[in-house]
Structure 1
C-alpha cells in the first residue's frame, strides 16, 4: 500500500510540473506576441522605412541601361560643345524632405508604363534620366516652370533633360517644380484658361547640347519617342528652353507623336489643365531604344521617321534579282567643312565609281531641309563618313544598308564604338570601320614625330576630354589610303543583299 501511495504522489508531482512548464511557455508566447505587436524587435520604424527606400532604389537601378565603360565615356562626346560630365542632383526634395531621383511617393512605375496612382511618381528611369508622372487635376504654368497637381502631398523638382549627371549640360536646362494645388481663392489665379483634360502634358527641354545632330536625336528626339508613343497622339509637348528654329526643324517628328501643337512653355502665360503630366523624358541608350522596355524598339522609331519625312525605302535591296546598270548600289559620302575633313573626297568618289557604285556626296551642315537630306540618305545603300555628328543620319538608312565609319587617328575606337558602331545593330544596319593610320592624318604636319600626340595617344587621353577633343577631333583632317579603303568598300558590297540568283 505504501508503494502505491508513493507512486500516486510521484505521478501527481510530474503532472504538476508539466502543467507549470506549459503555463510558462504559453505566457512567454503571449508576451512575445504582445511585444511584436507594440514594439518591433531590432528595427525602428525609421530603419524599416530606410530598408523599403533602399529596395526601391535597387529596383530603380535595374532599369538602368547596361552600357559598358566605353559607352559611358561616349556620353561625354559628341562633340563641338561637350565637356567632362560632373555629378549633379536634379531632383529636389521639397515637402517632407528625403532624397532623390530614384525614390518615389507611392508606386515606382516602369519607364514605359502609364501612371496608375493619383500621386506623382518621380523615379530614375535610367542612369541618365529622371522622370516624374502625375494624374488628377493637373495645371501647368509654363512661364514659371511649375506644375500644380491635386492630389499631391509634397513638392518635387526635376530638370527634364536626360544628362542628369552633366553639370555643363544642365546649366542650360531650366528646373521644373511639381507642387500641391492650393485651395481655390476668390480671384482664382490658377483658373484653367486652356482645358485639355483628355490629354497628357509632356514637359521636355531643348537646352543642353541640342543643335548638334547627335544630341538632337540621342538626348531629345529618341527619348521623346520612347516616352510619348504610348499616348497614341493624345499628348502635348511643352518645350522648355525652347528654340523656335529647332522645333521647326523637327516639326514633322512632333506631328507623328502628337495631335496637338508644340507649346513654347517658357513664354506661355496660360494656365493649361490636363488629366495627367509627364515631366522629363526616359532615356534608354545612345541613338537607341531598348526593345525590352519599348516593344518595337529602334525599327519602330525608324518607321516613324520614314512616315514623317516621306522616305520610300524600308530595306536596301537591288532592282530585280541583282544590282545592275539600272540600279547600281548607291554610295553616299558625308562631307565635312570643319575639322576631320576628307582631303581626297573626289578621289574616293572616283575609286568607288570604278567598283560599280553610284556615288553621291552630301553635307548635312549645309542642308537646312531635313526632309530633303533624309531622302538622300534613304536612297543610299552604303554611307561613308568620318566620325562626327553627321553620321547620325544613319537613322534614315534603309535596313540592310552598310555604315562605314572612318575613325580619326588617336585611339578613338572606344568613342566610335559607343556613338555609332553599337547603335548600328539596333537599326538593322551592317557596320564597317576604317581606322586612320599615322600616314593618313594631318597631325603629322603639326607635331614632331616624337610628340606624345603621335607616339602615345593614351597619354593625351589621360589629360581629360578637353585635351583629347582639342587635338584629335578639332585639329585633324584625314586622307584615307585609296588602296585600303577600296578593300573596305568591296567588303561593303559583299554585305549588301544581292538578289535570289546571287552566289
Structure 2
C-alpha cells in the first residue's frame, strides 16, 4: 500500500511531495491535512524547481503535508486533485517565468495528469503575474486557480502533488516523458494558448514579394549589454534586405501581442538576455541569431542555443570580439576579464564576476564583420518566407 504522504527528494533541481489520500488545504498556514490518517508524519517542501540554489529557495514559502492534528472541516470541495507550486523566486524575469515556471509546469502536468484534470494551487500568485499569463494558465487547466495568499476558506482535494519537475535549462527530456513529449510539444501548447486569437494569415502574392521580417530585440542602456551603435545596426539589417521591427519588451508587454508579432516573423536577433525567451514564439524553420558578449558563451548556449535547436530553428551565433566590448576600454585589452573570460570566472558562477559581463558590458558591433552574418541570416529567413509565408 502506498504511503499516504511521500516525498521524492532524489533530484538535484526539485523535490516532489504527494498526498495520496483525501486532503484538506488550510491556506493561511500552507498546510495539507490528511482527512483519515493512518500514519504519523509531517513533510515540508518548497515547491520551486531551483533546489540547488539556496539563496532563492530561502524566499520560497514552505508547504506542509501532515497527518496530524485532525484536519479542519472542508469549506470548498474539489473533485479534481491539486497541483501546488510557487510563482515566487525569480518570477518577473521572463526567462525564469518560463525556465522555472511554465516549462516545468508543462512537464509536471504531462507526467502526472495526462487527463488534464487538476486544480492549480499557487503560492506568490500576484495579480500582475496571473493577468500576464492568463492565456497559459487557462489553457493548462479548466478549473479556477486557488491563490494561497488570497484564499481564506479551506479546500479539500481527492489528492495533491506539491512541486514541479524540471529537466534542466529551457529543455524537456523526451526520454523522461510519456509518449516522448519534447520542447516542440511545449511550443504547440503556446500555439494553443495564443494562435487561436492571432492566426497566421495564409501566404498570398503580396506576401511572397515582401521582405522577410526581422524582430530586432533592443535593450535599454542602463541594463547592460546595450548595442551602442543600434541605429547603424538597424540600417545594416535593412540594407541587406530585412524589414526590421524593433522589439523592446518590458514586464508589462502583452504576451499575446508578442506572440502575434514574433510568430508572424521570419527572423529574430538580439544580444543574450532574458528577452530572447520570446524566441519560443518563432515558427520552426525561422532564424534566431544570438549576439554573445564576452564571458557569456556558456549562458548563451545553455539558455537559448540548445532550446533553439530543439525547436527546429535556424540558430546562429555571433560571438563578439574583444574590440567590440566596452570592457576593453574599462579594463584594458590585456586584462584577464577581457583576454580570458573563462579563466576569470573560475570553476563556478560567481555573481560578482558575472555582473561584470552581464551588467557592465555594452557592445559596439563591427558592422563590416557583422554584415556577413546578417546576409547569411537574411538568406535563411528569405528561404523560410518563400516556403512558409
Fold shared per TM-score above 0.5: yes
Match of 1:159 in 2: 46
Matched residue SS, 1:404: strand
Matched residue SS, 2:171: coil
Shift of 1:473: 0.9
2:76 matched to 1:194? yes
**Matching residue within 323, 335, 356 for 2:241:** 356
Find the aligned partners of 1:148 and 1:140 in 2 and give their Cα distance.
Answer: 6
**Which segments of 5 or more consecutive residues in structure 1 lack a partner in the other structure?**
1-105, 107-116, 184-188
Structure 1 stretches of 4+ moved >6 Å: 311-315, 320-323, 499-502
Matched residue SS, 1:368: coil
Find the aligned partners of 1:439 and 1:380 in 2 and give their Cα distance.
Answer: 32
Shift of 1:458: 3.3
Shift of 1:148: 1.1
Is the 2:132–2:252 contact (alpha carbons within 8 Å) kept by the matching residues of 1? no
Using the size of structure 2 for normalisation, the TM-score is 0.89
Please give the residue correspondences for 1:82-481 in structure 2 after superposition, counting only pairs within 5 Å.
117=2, 119-124=4-9, 126-149=11-34, 150-151=36-37, 153=39, 154-180=41-67, 182-183=69-70, 190-196=72-78, 198-229=79-110, 230-294=113-177, 295=179, 296-310=181-195, 319=203, 324-325=208-209, 327-337=210-220, 338-365=223-250, 368-410=253-295, 412-462=296-346, 465-481=350-366
Please give the residue correspondences for 1:12-91 in structure 2 after superposition, counting only pairs within 5 Å.
none
Using the size of structure 1 for normalisation, the TM-score is 0.70
Find the aligned partners of 1:328 and 1:122 in 2 and give their Cα distance.
Answer: 55
Find the aligned partners of 1:445 and 1:501 in 2 and give their Cα distance.
Answer: 45
Is the 1:291–1:297 contact (alpha carbons within 8 Å) kept by the matching residues of 2? yes
Shift of 1:340: 0.5
Matched residue SS, 1:226: helix
Instruction: Work out the number of aligned pairs and report it.
Output: 378
Matched residue SS, 2:187: helix
Higher RCO by CA contacts (8 Å cutoff, separation 6 or greater): 2
Shift of 1:459: 3.9
**Which segments of 5 or more consecutive residues in structure 2 lack a partner in the other structure?**
none
Larger radius of gyration: 1
How much is the aligned-residue C-alpha RMSD, in angstroms? 2.6
